[in-house]
Amino acid sequence: MAIRRDVLFQVGGFNPHLVGDFFLGDGATGLNRKLWERGMLVGYVPAAIIYHHIPPQKMTVKFFRRRMANEGAADVYTRFHHGIPRWFRLCKDAAGIAFRNGKPWIADLFLKGRTDARSLRTQLHAAGTQSQLKYVIRLMLNKDLRKLVLKKDWLS
């Protein structure tokens, strides 16, 4: 992704991914959302070629679980970035996440480390949704996190 400096500052920069060891925001996805909300164009260059070197440690089930946990946290950040509901609504959201995902979470206990497609889907889904639940609980309990989630401008 390439962006003009003045436009980056105009939209308030990226919402950070990591703060210390905690996954906070939605990074490039959030930046694209900020651009779209302001009616700014985001271009796609189909002829562009990008080469990525992917080290072996990023091709493990453990890495993908962590990656999906980050995605789950980013989903919650995005959902509440424009406004965090009251504590009761957050409790209701947490209960909903747990209720909808109980079966995959139990299955995940028995599938850890397996690499067939069905087991991987279940493990990655469980990692993402467990992270969503943890993030909502952190929002309920941590006023500093609530301030960070609501922060709009990361450059000034």
Other C-beta atoms closer than 10 Å to the C-beta of 119 total 17
Domain ranges of the chain: 5-150
The beta-strand segments (E) located in the chain are 18-19, 22-23
Predicted local confidence at residue 112, as pLDDT: 87
Q: For 108-137, what is the mean pLDDT?
A: 96
Other C-beta atoms closer than 10 Å to the C-beta of 1 total 8
Q: Maximum CA pair distance of the chain? A: 51
* Residue 3 pLDDT level (bands cut at 50, 70, 90): confident
Other C-beta atoms closer than 10 Å to the C-beta of 120 total 15
Predicted local confidence at residue 45, as pLDDT: 86
Question: For 51-62, how does the pLDDT look when each residue is reduced to its tens digit (9 = 90+)?
Answer: 989 999 999 999
pTM above 0.75, yes or no: yes
Instruction: Give first-to-last CA distance, the chain, whole Å.
Output: 22
Query: Is the per-residue pLDDT at 21 higher than 80?
Result: no
Query: Is the per-residue pLDDT at 85 higher than 80?
Result: yes
* Residue 64 pLDDT level (bands cut at 50, 70, 90): very high
